[in-house]
């Protein structure tokens, strides 16, 4: 999976074929189909592994009660953004990358992406609900829409940072947009 994730991040879904995936994974091309019915099925597995990894490494931030909920959200997105520096911001986010590249071509991948976005939003809604309960954000905020807007805005910053290969789109998200969204 890791080799496939790296290929998708570096070359995109359409930029690599089953042969490149098999070679990077150290398996014969024919063995690929022993594990996956199609390249799309592989992409869905890579996405699930990618999201599980994100949740494992960063999800705890959103439930860390040592910080107020709004600060948890800010820290969570800061840490996600900081991770992108390792590759000079050139990779972007696999979720956003594949959303743009293949969601129109594969209903299965689109469904997997939708599921991941829903899970991501749900984790933010839980933290936003806490923030609302502590009067950190307005009690009138539609938390589902707010969570979606935050994610969509961060994904936009990820896309721009990938193009520019610089941190400033993330910084603008963290310093300008996120505080405005959380003020409700």
- Name the residue range of residue 50's domain: 46-183
Q: How far is CA 150 from CA 31, 132, 174, in A?
A: 41, 16, 10
The pLDDT confidence band at residue 152, using thresholds 50, 70 and 90, is very high
Q: In this structure, what CATH number is given to the domain that contains residue 123?
A: 1.10.357.10
- Neighbour tally for 138: CB within 10 Å: 12
Task: Give pLDDT, residue 184.
Answer: 57
Q: pLDDT digit string (tens) for 116-145?
A: 999 999 999 999 999 999 999 988 989 999
Residue 108 lies in a domain: yes
Residue 92 lies in a domain: yes
Average pLDDT, the chain: 95
Lookup: tokens for 147: 């969570």
* Verdict on whether the full-model pTM lies above 0.85: yes
Q: pLDDT digit string (tens) for 27-36?
A: 999 999 999 9
Residue 77 lies in a domain: yes
Residue 90 lies in a domain: yes
Residue 7 lies in a domain: no
Sequence-separated (6 or more) residues with CB below 8 Å from residue 141: 128, 132, 184
- Number of domains forming the structure of the chain: 1
Residue 8 lies in a domain: no
Give the mean pLDDT of 19-34: 93
């Amino acid at each position: 999976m890791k080799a496939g994730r790296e290929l998708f991040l570096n070359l995109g879904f359409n930029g690599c074929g089953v042969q490149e995936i098999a070679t990077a994974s150290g398996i014969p091309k024919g063995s690929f189909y022993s594990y996956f019915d199609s390249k799309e099925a592989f992409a869905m597995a890579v996405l699930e592994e990618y999201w599980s990894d994100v949740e494992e490494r960063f999800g705890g931030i959103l439930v860390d009660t040592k910080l107020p909920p709004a600060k948890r959200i800010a820290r969570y997105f800061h840490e996600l953004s900081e991770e992108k520096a390792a590759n000079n911001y050139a990779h972007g986010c696999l979720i956003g990358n594949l959303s743009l590249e293949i969601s129109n071509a594969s209903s299965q991948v689109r469904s997997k992406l939708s599921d991941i976005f829903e899970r991501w939003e749900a984790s933010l809604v839980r933290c936003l609900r806490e923030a609302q309960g502590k009067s950190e954000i307005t009690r009138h905020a539609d938390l589902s829409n707010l969570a979606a807007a935050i994610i969509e805005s961060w994904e936009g910053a990820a896309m721009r940072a990938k193009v520019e290969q610089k941190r400033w789109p993330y910084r603008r998200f963290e310093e300008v947009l996120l505080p405005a969204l959380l003020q409700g």
